[in-house]
């Protein structure tokens, strides 16, 4: 009887994880292609299809670090039980579903973090204050980093003394160099759980002398080569047609950010089940990430178009250049967050980038009223999700007699 009850509880927790991942696919993985849609570089349905595939791939290859933070670092002194995980995931998914229905993007990171803190406190755990400080500082810096970088990029692309045949390809080269150093679970690395393309290729040729801690000459050279190839590819397309070249770069950027989005968001769905899968069931994390990736794929294909239209059309009327300016910080900050194991909101990053890019051309294209409502939703989400999940777990535990 006890075994049957545990199996039912585990099944319920997994279904809740899938539901949360579905909502993430429909909500938080939508912004990466919103600027591209706003620039008429891709249709809404095409974007939803591509987002699903790329976000699911990112979830499998990069989702482990965020999942671990959400599952074990937000509360001290207790382990998250299947019932607590279910309560937390239901709370977070419900908040995000409200965002989809009202067409206001609610940050998944805030909803999930608040929900898991709430159930952890309800279990009798202690606040992980050091983790909260680390997350809070990063979250506070995100709008300034994203908006500032987007503004600087947009201003540079608009300068008359910077030819587009140089400025846009140079930006592509920088992005390519960063991509070469993105950590991926499919690349083996003797010194880490995830390896990078630059380091892997470097090792095939001996690596060369070490220039800094963990960085050898070969890695630097591979990074430069990948950046140069990206520069050359985009420059060739820009020289043939400026607009077509810029749109090609915009679409590639959208794909990279969608991939990064999956890696940064899946842990919000799978993290609450980390203790269940790794400790109680003894299963590898990749199985849990695969469940999350499946939910993200389904959510992106089924639910993303509605929010894609809202995000791309209502926040600002973007051109291709301002869209690029919005996506570059999205990619950089998402990968930085993954490397540090910090749950983030892609909505927050992309919106800040949209605002920064919009201000470079004047504030007329930015809906201040909608931005104000969105920020209010963010602040309410973090606090209210903690309270709701605390009460929901207590109610479920009481109803089940535990």
- Residue-wise pLDDT for 10-64, tens only, equals 888 889 889 888 888 877 666 677 767 766 777 778 888 888 899 999 999 888 8
DSSP reduced 3-state for 216: strand
pLDDT at residue 156 in the model: 79
Beta strands 215-216 and 210-212, pairing class: antiparallel
In the 8-state DSSP scheme, what is residue 240?
A: H
pLDDT of residue 316: 44
352: which 2 tokens?
Answer: 């800040």
**Which of the four pLDDT bands, split at 50, 70 and 90, describes residue 119?**
very high
Contact 21, 294 (CB under 8 A): yes
**Digit-coded pLDDT (tens) for 184-194:** 878 877 766 67
Identify the pLDDT of residue 230. Answer: 94
Interval 150-162: pLDDT, tens:
888 888 777 777 7
Between the alpha carbon of residue 355 and those of residues 124, 257, 318, 327, 363, the distances in Å are: 41, 18, 10, 12, 8
CB of 57 within 8 A of CB of 179? no
The string of DSSP letters for 267-285 reads HHHHGGGHHIIIIIS---H
Higher pLDDT: 391 or 209? It is 391
| Percentage of the chain modeled with pLDDT above 90 | 22
Long-range contacts of 184-189 (CB under 8 A, 24+ apart): 184/61, 184/62, 185/60, 185/61, 185/62, 185/64, 185/286, 186/61
- Band of pLDDT at residue 401, cut at 50, 70 and 90: low
What pLDDT score was predicted for residue 294? 93
Structure tokens of 402?
């535990």
Query: For the chain, what is the largest distance between any 2 Cα atoms, rounded to a whole number of angstroms?
Result: 75
363, pLDDT greater than 60: no
Calpha distance 335→181 (Å, rounded): 10
Tokens standing for residue 119 = 């159930």
According to the model, what pLDDT value does residue 278 have?
84
CA–CA distance, 183 with 195 (Å, rounded to integer): 5
CA dist 15 and 188 (Å) reads 32
Residue 105 confidence class, pLDDT cut points 50, 70, 90: low
- Residue 291's pLDDT band, with cuts at 50, 70 and 90, is very high
């Amino acid at each position: 009887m006890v075994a049957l009850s545990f199996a039912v509880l585990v099944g319920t927790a997994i279904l809740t994880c899938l539901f949360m991942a579905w909502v993430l696919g429909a909500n938080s993985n939508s912004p990466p292609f919103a600027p591209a849609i706003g620039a008429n570089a891709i249709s809404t349905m095409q974007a939803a299809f591509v987002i699903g595939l790329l976000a699911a791939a990112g979830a499998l290859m990069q989702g482990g670090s965020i999942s671990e933070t959400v599952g074990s670092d937000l509360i001290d002194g207790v382990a998250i039980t299947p019932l607590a995980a279910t309560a937390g995931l239901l709370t977070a998914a419900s908040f995000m579903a409200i965002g989809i229905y009202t067409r206001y993007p609610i940050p998944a990171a805030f909803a999930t973090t608040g929900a898991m803190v709430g159930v952890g406190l309800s279990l009798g755990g202690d606040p992980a204050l050091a983790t909260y400080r680390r997350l809070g500082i990063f979250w506070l810096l995100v709008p300034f980093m994203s908006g500032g970088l987007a503004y600087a990029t947009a201003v540079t692309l608009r300068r008359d003394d910077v030819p587009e045949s140089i400025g846009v390809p140079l930006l592509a080269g920088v992005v390519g160099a960063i991509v070469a150093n993105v950590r991926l679970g499919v690349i083996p690395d003797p010194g880490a759980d995830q390896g990078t393309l630059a380091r892997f290729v470097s090792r095939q040729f001996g690596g060369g002398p070490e220039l800094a801690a963990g960085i050898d000459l070969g890695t630097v050279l591979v990074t430069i080569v990948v950046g140069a190839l990206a520069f050359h590819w985009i420059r060739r397309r820009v020289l043939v047609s400026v607009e077509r070249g810029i749109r090609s770069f915009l679409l590639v950027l959208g794909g990279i950010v969608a991939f990064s989005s999956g890696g940064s968001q899946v842990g919000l769905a799978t993290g609450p089940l980390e203790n269940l899968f790794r400790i109680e069931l003894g299963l590898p994390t990749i199985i849990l990430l695969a469940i999350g990736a499946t939910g993200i794929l389904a959510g992106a294909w089924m639910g993303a178009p509605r929010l894609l239209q809202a995000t791309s059309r209502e926040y600002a009327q973007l051109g291709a250049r301002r869209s690029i300016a919005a996506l570059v910080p999205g990619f950089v900050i998402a990968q930085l967050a993954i490397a540090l194991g910090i749950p983030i909101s892609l909505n927050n990053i992309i919106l800040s980038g949209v605002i920064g890019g919009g201000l470079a051309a004047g504030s007329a294209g930015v809906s201040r009223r909608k931005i104000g409502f969105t920020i209010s939703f963010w602040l309410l989400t973090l606090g209210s999700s903690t309270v709701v999940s605390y009460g929901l777990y207590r109610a479920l535990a009481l109803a089940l007699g535990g």
